[in-house]
Amino acid sequence: MMRHRARLGRVLRLAPLVVAAASLGACAVTRTAAPAADIALTTGSVPTAQEPAKPLDEVDDVTLGKEHYRAQNYGLAEMHFRRAVETAAGDAEAWLGLAAAYDQLKRFELADRAYARVLKLNGPTPELLNNRGYSYLLRGDLRRASQDLSAASAKSPDDERIRNNLKALDGRARRRA
């Protein structure tokens, strides 16, 4: 009898949580996505330009990947960027986004493949060098991070994202020394 009452007490304590979760799950939400077609997706970048929102069904996978990446939903970003490269294998922006998502998921071997594809499609752009340098920084490979970030800085010396990644590299190097 005491066991039954204890179990009933636990169930009654959890009942408000179950009701709240069920009611939230029943909510209908209309989502829109704000595309950022002219914003380069680079690791650590913050978008500044916004276009009018489109209904979710009209938004392409690259735009959804960017949206999820900015929201730090890297698994969903990876899924949309992967769909985009499967649809259009020559889309360097989608490959770069896929590589950045793989970096955040710590899937560095897959990120390396995606960076290699971007390099083949567009050559060593400042965005590619910055992102790949940041990838090496995440892995702790400071020598290769320095090479890529220095090359990115030489190609685009006024890019704030590159300067910030160089500062992060400098901070890591100082802590190691």
Alpha helices in the chain (DSSP H): 2-25, 61-70, 74-87, 92-104, 108-122, 126-139, 142-155, 160-176
| Confidence band of 43 (pLDDT split at 50, 70, 90) | low
Mean pLDDT of all residues in 75-87: 97
- Rounded to whole angstroms, the Cα distance separating 177 from 168 reads 14
The more confident residue out of 90 and 177 is 90
Task: Give pLDDT tens digits for 25-42.
Answer: 444 333 334 333 333 445
- Rounded to whole angstroms, the Cα distance separating 123 from 129 reads 10
Residue 70 near residue 49 (C-beta atoms within 8 A): no
172 Cβ contact list (under 8 Å, min separation 6): 137, 140, 142
| Confidence band of 48 (pLDDT split at 50, 70, 90) | very low
pLDDT for residue 173 is more than 80: yes
| Residue extents of the structural domains in the chain | 40-176
Supply the pLDDT for residue 114. Answer: 98
CATH of domain 40-176: 1.25.40.10
Query: For the chain, what is the mean pLDDT?
Result: 81
Residue 82 near residue 98 (C-beta atoms within 8 A): yes
Task: Give pLDDT tens digits for 113-154.
Answer: 999 999 999 999 999 999 999 999 999 999 999 999 999 999
Supply the pLDDT for residue 73. Answer: 98
pLDDT for residue 4 is more than 70: no
What is the greatest pairwise CA distance in the chain? 77
